[in-house]
Amino acid sequence: MFRKNKKLKEEFDERLLSLMMETKKEWEQTKAIEKHLNDYDQEIIVRRKIAESKHFYLFKEAKARQLGRN
């Protein structure tokens, strides 16, 4: 029974880490796009802020799960 729980936790931890990498990549892409724009584009700024919020929410969750301290 405990093995199943441990395996399930490891599976979700892996999914969390991969999702964190995806959101970080998306956040960095939107920052780069925003940096190269000459004019003020509110849609790009909103996308960057959403991506940043997603990434930091997942980071907070990873910290609560103590990922990386295994």
The boundaries of the domain holding residue 33 are: 16-64
More confident call, 38 vs 50: 50
Whether 60 is in a domain gets the answer yes
Tell me, what's the pLDDT at 66?
85
Residues in the chain: 70
Number of separate domains in the chain: 1
Whether 8 is in a domain gets the answer no
pLDDT in tens, 45-67: 899 999 999 999 999 999 998 88
- On whether the pTM is more than 0.85, the answer is no
Other beta carbons less than 10 A from residue 58's beta carbon: 18
Tell me, what's the pLDDT at 37?
83
Cβ-in-10-Å burial (0-12, 13-18, 19+) of 60 comes to: exposed
Tell me, what's the pLDDT at 21?
94
